[in-house]
Amino acid sequence: MVTTQLPEIIGFGDGSDSDRKACLLATFLLLAGGLIARLAQSYIRNLPPGPRGLPLIGDVIHIANPEWLASPKRKDEYGDMMYINALGTGMLIINSQRVAVDLLEKRSTIYSSRPHYISVGDFMTQNLAFGIVPYGDRLRQFRRVTAEIYSKSTNPSAPERHFHRHAWSIMLSVNYDLPPLESEDDPCLVEIEDHLRRFMREIQPGTRLVEYFPWLKYVPDRFAKWKRDTQNWFIQDSLMFQRFLGKVKDDLANGIDRPSFAATVIKSQSKHGLSEVEKAWLVGHLLAAGGDTTSSGLEWWLLAMLMYPNVQARAHAELDEVVGRDRPPTFADIPFLPYIRAMVKETLRWSPIAPFSVPHASTADDWYEGTFIPKGTICLQNMGVLNFDREVFGDNVAEFDPTRYLDEKGRVKMQMGGREEGHMTFGFGRRVCPGRYVAEGTISIDIATLLWAMRFERPEGSQGELGVRNRVQSGLTAHPVPFECKVVPRFTEAEALLNEGLSMYK
């Protein structure tokens, strides 16, 4: 069956038997040649340590096992860098901040691209999704536009109660000036989440064979459902993002000029020269990148509150002392709430929001500390090891302890481990998260407001172990396994005061 279709599939030859055999042989030789060359490279040149796997195919078993890759035991076995090769793709797992900074920051000219994804990149998004845009002109444009707007001073709008809906509401408000979502079933949210689900599934290693056998992309559409699907999704998703942008365009045309990322991108069109579809995807994927990550951060924080009631009690005491009980906290209070600010940093350090960050890919051969890192190596930042480094964060790394970010006078430390944020959760170098100030601002005001009004408890008799190891991975992000939580108002006026505060934003 396969042999009769092959000449048509790979698109050359007249279909005769000898042509078919020649095609098969050529494909096999190309594939084997590539793999043998890679393998030879690994023996002749000194690749970083790591399991070598089987001849020709490499270590396909381990490369597809995130738990095995992420385990701190790998650092004990192989040191700060572990290199794995599978089917010709090299992957470098970075297990120390020093190596991450040396490669991804100091040598960022060659470590700032993303892996080449055929299905989710070339087909489903035409390489317009910000997080996977290859290093080059488009990335520079996207980052320049974003940096102008998502600066340190960005403050998101009104806080609400539900993390998921709330995080998306903030993103929709910052990006498109849309009002808070009334429900989880809002068509806007349903559409974006549908896109994100497909995006995350496509990006997951192992979803598509074509990522390992790139010649499969030449299979005609009629034989490849994945190609038809991803191409249709590109049209469907482009229309969605263009529709969101179109609403802001119409508002501007009608003299309604309210601040949003979309409005700024539209107004600065002549300066940046982005095409219509580039603008639509830029704003759309800033939204997509921010919603799921922020809501994951808040979920992990809530889990920490149930696990560490003493930490929660200390935050309550700080809020009572600094803000009092007559009004909810505002952004203006945040600089005067060092324990809450330290808690935000600790939440970002402790939570496995994006366990391997977003992979970088190298664009040139490189030598580092006597080892050879071939061009095209996929570099994974192992957050569970980087953010749990005892030398940087102290011996109690596994505990949720905001005081690690406070000095002896109770002030927030200016930096930790040489980093202003005090953790590595936002990534490195030229691909560092451009939404980090929005994320920190959102999480700070949320945590302050929620703790001001409420106490969170684990209901008696709840089953299951709580902890960062119990997680559900969806694409690049991870959420806690669902858990029960009891919410207790801290004082009777809290709800009325919150509603009063919220009405100011409507």
Binding residues for heme: 433
Please, which residue, 7 or 359, has the CB nearer to ligand HEM?
A: 359
The C-alpha atoms of residue 464 and residue 383 are separated, in whole angstroms, by: 25
Please, which residue, 23 or 132, has the CB nearer to ligand HEM?
A: 132
- Joined together, the tokens standing for residue 190 give 């349903």
Please state the closest distance from residue 175 (CB atom) to ligand HEM, in A: 7
Residue whose C-beta lies closest to ligand HEM: 435
Please, which residue, 126 or 231, has the CB nearer to ligand HEM?
A: 126
What is the CB-side half-sphere exposure of residue 78 using CA atoms within 13 A?
Answer: 22
Please, which residue, 79 or 429, has the CB nearer to ligand HEM?
A: 429
Please state the closest distance from residue 316 (CB atom) to ligand HEM, in A: 23
On the 0-12 / 13-18 / 19+ scale of CB atoms within 10 A, 263 is: buried
Residues lying near ligand HEM in the complex (CB under 6 A) are found at: 130-131, 143, 150, 285-286, 289-290, 293-294, 297, 353-354, 357-358, 360, 425-428, 431-435, 438-439
Please, which residue, 130 or 226, has the CB nearer to ligand HEM?
A: 130
The C-alpha atoms of residue 64 and residue 76 are separated, in whole angstroms, by: 20
The C-alpha atoms of residue 387 and residue 425 are separated, in whole angstroms, by: 8
Please state the closest distance from residue 286 (CB atom) to ligand HEM, in A: 5
CA dihedral 111, 114, 116, 118 (to 10 degrees): 180
Please state the closest distance from residue 220 (CB atom) to ligand HEM, in A: 32
Please, which residue, 74 or 285, has the CB nearer to ligand HEM?
A: 285
HEC string of 53-90 equals CECCCECHHHHCCHHHHHCHHHHHHHCCEEEEEECCEE
Please state the closest distance from residue 386 (CB atom) to ligand HEM, in A: 11
The residue type at 439: A
Q: Which residues belong to the annotated binding site?
A: 433
The C-alpha atoms of residue 498 and residue 448 are separated, in whole angstroms, by: 12
Please state the closest distance from residue 301 (CB atom) to ligand HEM, in A: 10
Please, which residue, 99 or 323, has the CB nearer to ligand HEM?
A: 99
Please, which residue, 322 or 432, has the CB nearer to ligand HEM?
A: 432
Q: Specify whether the CB–CB gap between 385 and 72 falls below 8 A.
A: yes
HEC string of 131-158 equals HHCCCCHHHHHHHHHHHHHCCCCCCCCC
Q: Specify whether the CB–CB gap between 429 and 112 falls below 8 A.
A: yes
Let me know how many helices (H) and strands (E) the chain has, helices first: 19, 10
HEC string of 342-391 equals HHHHHHHHHCCCCCCCCCEECCCCEEECCEEECCCCEEEECHHHHCCCHH
Please state the closest distance from residue 107 (CB atom) to ligand HEM, in A: 14
Please state the closest distance from residue 124 (CB atom) to ligand HEM, in A: 16
